[in-house]
């Protein structure tokens, strides 16, 4: 929403599976591990990539427009979620 600069952390599914396995084998109970390859991909880039694949233009939405189009997901999409894997790499190897 807005300018689309809010971030979505990204990871390949095989990398996520590897971190999940390592967390089970080496991790501590109750800890949170981040299996992210990219600290954040701007939502704008995600929307543009989807639009290119579908042959549709991407456009910014106001919060009100997003609520109409996305319903309850609008609040979640509006969040900015940068994440780092540095601590996870250090702890799990």
The residues spanned by each domain of the chain are: 7-92
3-38 pLDDT per residue, tens: 888 888 888 999 999 999 999 999 999 998 988 887
56-78 pLDDT per residue, tens: 998 888 888 889 988 988 888 88
Does the predicted model carry a pTM greater than 0.85? no
C-beta pairs of 83-88 under 8 Å, 24+ apart in sequence: 83/9, 83/34, 83/36, 83/39, 83/40, 84/34, 84/36, 84/39, 85/34, 85/35, 85/36, 85/37, 87/34, 88/19, 88/33, 88/34, 88/35
């Amino acid at each position: 929403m807005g300018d689309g600069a809010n971030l979505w952390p990204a990871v390949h599914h095989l990398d996520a599976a590897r971190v999940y396995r390592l967390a089970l084998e080496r991790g501590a109970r109750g800890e949170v591990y981040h299996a992210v390859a990219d600290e954040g991909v701007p939502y704008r880039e995600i929307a543009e990539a989807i639009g290119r694949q579908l042959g549709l233009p991407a456009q910014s939405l106001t919060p009100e427009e997003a609520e109409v189009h996305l319903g309850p997901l609008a609040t979640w999409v509006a969040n900015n979620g940068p994440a780092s894997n540095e601590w996870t790499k250090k702890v799990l190897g």
